Amino acid sequence: MKIAVAKGDGIGPEIMDAVLRIFEANKVPLEYEFVDMGKWVFDKGFSNGMTPEAQKAIESLGLLFKGPMETPKGKGVKSINVTARKTWNTFANKRVFQSLHGVDTVFSKAGIPIDITVVRENIEDTYGGIEHMLTHDVALSRRMITRPGSLQVIRYAFEMAKQKKARRITCGHKANIMKITDGLFLDCFYEVAKEYPELKADDIIVDDLCMKLVTKPDSFDVVVLTNLQGDIVSDLCAGLVGGLGFAPSANIGDHISIFEAVHGTAPDIAGKNIANPTALLLSGISMLMHVGLTENAGIIENALLYTLESGIHTGDFGDKSKPSVNTTEFADAVISNFGKQPVVNPKPIMPNKPGTPTPFKLQQNAMMESKEEGNETIVGVDFFIESNEQPQSIAVKCERHGGVKFKLINISNRGTQVWPTGSVYTNLVNVYNVRFETLDGEPLNQQDILGLYISLSGNFKVCSSELLNQWGERKGYSLAQGQ
């Protein structure tokens, strides 16, 4: 089986070489096609951080094993790591956080074992990076949560939890505040939960989740979250088990998957042969499991755990009274421990059942769309306008434009209603949301909205607009604070 390998930037090449040497010593039946990705590719003028040849190779092979990569700062380019995950629709970021004997933490010293799997939605949310300056003072980021995308990652999380024989699967969310976006994600969670009655499924507000993770981490098993919240919680969990140097990462898609170390490139120690390869090795072990090389994965993981248990460590962790080893020596120690098992948490060794990473090739983009429930109607519009006037003055001007089809419902500023009721103690910025709804209850069409847009633009700069959609009796928009 051939896979694509990108060594990465900074310490990437030396830790990747160490891991591949461990694989070679264990006779892992893989071939490698090395591809060009990372900061130096950006610097050569490739705006997505990879060469066309690299993209073609990865899409042909279906599997990418990559070291840490740096995105140039201040050049208006997107993160290569996020671009790769989104380009190939690796919709589920799976990160396993386990206590490692030999890696001391507050919890290991207290005898509290940690075994948490975080599944993070990997494509949507604020990571779409869809941002605009509405005025010189006001920036807007669009947060997209979709039903098909949510169902996709949540169903993966439930299936993985079932295979893992998890005792609990938890949805972390902020649906108490973001009632439509996080509310949609939470609804999808319980929709899928009905298909897995054998699993205990529950939910928790994400700030409460963070508090409980640092007080009772052993009470959690599998946690699934939206993209940004999942990113934050993942790094929090890494801190529970010793840091990002011990946190593997798998990005799972239907056709292409990416296995990588998610720690930084550490340019200050690059080339010194002192970096810790554990996170990348754990990610590589996860990759071997993914493609059915379970025997190789079990032998290597047991050797790694035995090495850590023996007190062998690089300079970033471990017993400081014992001399540290360099990257090469750490890899040598793992190789010398093939066939040995740790006392704590040994892994089963199962015969290899290799498969193929990419079952078929795609000829066109897949369209994900769920069945629409109820008839969709347009009942109004939100216009985001630029103005430094007071709300009452804006209302007077806006009401002139309603005509025979629209009535001005309310005006809000940063999500808080300031007209028809409000408080003079609400500080304002120079973007208001003026909400118009249908005057007589009759559905509107886009031509009606455009007519109002044109009329309103005679008094204001219209920075942005959103249709107020409704399906049956279900409103597809939120109310302002105080509305």
pLDDT in tens, the chain (483 residues): 999 999 999 999 999 999 999 999 999 999 999 999 998 888 888 888 999 999 999 999 999 999 999 877 766 677 888 889 999 999 999 999 999 999 999 999 999 999 999 999 999 999 888 999 999 999 999 999 999 999 999 999 999 999 999 999 999 999 999 999 999 999 999 999 999 999 999 999 999 999 999 999 999 999 999 999 999 999 999 999 999 999 999 999 999 999 999 999 999 999 999 999 999 999 999 999 999 999 999 999 999 999 999 999 999 998 888 999 999 999 999 999 999 999 999 999 999 987 665 556 788 998 999 888 778 999 999 999 999 999 999 999 999 999 999 999 999 999 999 999 999 999 999 999 999 999 988 889 999 999 999 999 999 999 999 999 999 889 999 999 988
The dihedral region occupied by 472, where left means phi > 0, alpha psi between -120 and 50, and beta the remainder, is left
Within 93-180, residue ranges assigned H as helices are: 106-109, 147-164
Q: Are 15 and 67 in contact (CB under 8 A)?
A: yes
Q: Are 299 and 310 in contact (CB under 8 A)?
A: no
pLDDT of residue 356: 61
Helix (H, G, I), strand (E, B) or coil at 76: coil
DSSP assigned state of 144: B
Compute the distance between CA of residue 169 and CA of residue 116 in angstroms, rounded to an integer.
10
Compute the distance between CA of residue 221 and CA of residue 181 in angstroms, rounded to an integer.
25
First to last CA, the chain: 60
pLDDT of residue 77: 72
In the CATH hierarchy, which fold is given to the domain comprising 376-475? Answer: Alpha-Beta Plaits (3.30.70)
DSSP assigned state of 37: B
- This prediction has a pTM of 0.93
Q: Are 13 and 67 in contact (CB under 8 A)?
A: yes
Describe the crossing of helices 294-309 and 327-336 by its angle, rounded to 10 degrees: 110
Compute the distance between CA of residue 74 and CA of residue 54 in angstroms, rounded to an integer.
24
Q: Which residues pair with 120 in a beta bridge?
A: 93, 225
Q: Are 301 and 285 in contact (CB under 8 A)?
A: yes
Residues 6+ apart with CB under 8 A from 343: 101, 309
Compute the distance between CA of residue 122 and CA of residue 234 in angstroms, rounded to an integer.
12
Residues of the chain with CATH 3.30.70.1570: 376-475
**Degrees (nearest 5) of the Cα angle 190, 470, 185?**
25
- Residue 98's nearest CA partner among 344, 337, 381, 267 is 344
Q: Are 54 and 36 in contact (CB under 8 A)?
A: yes
pLDDT of residue 75: 60
**Degrees (nearest 5) of the Cα angle 3, 10, 81?**
55
Backbone φ and ψ of 153, nearest 5°: -75, -35
Burial classification of residue 255, based on how many CB atoms lie within 10 Å of its CB (0-12 exposed, 13-18 middle, 19 or more buried): middle
Helix (H, G, I), strand (E, B) or coil at 424: coil
Domain formed by 2-336, architecture: 3-Layer(aba) Sandwich (3.40)
Q: Which residues pair with 50 in a beta bridge?
A: 37
Residues of the chain with CATH 3.40.718.10: 2-336
Tokens (6 digits) for 171: 């949805």
- Residue 35's nearest CA partner among 79, 59, 5 is 5
Percent of residues in the chain assigned helix, strand, coil, to nearest 5: 35, 20, 45
Tokens (6 digits) for 114: 């940690």
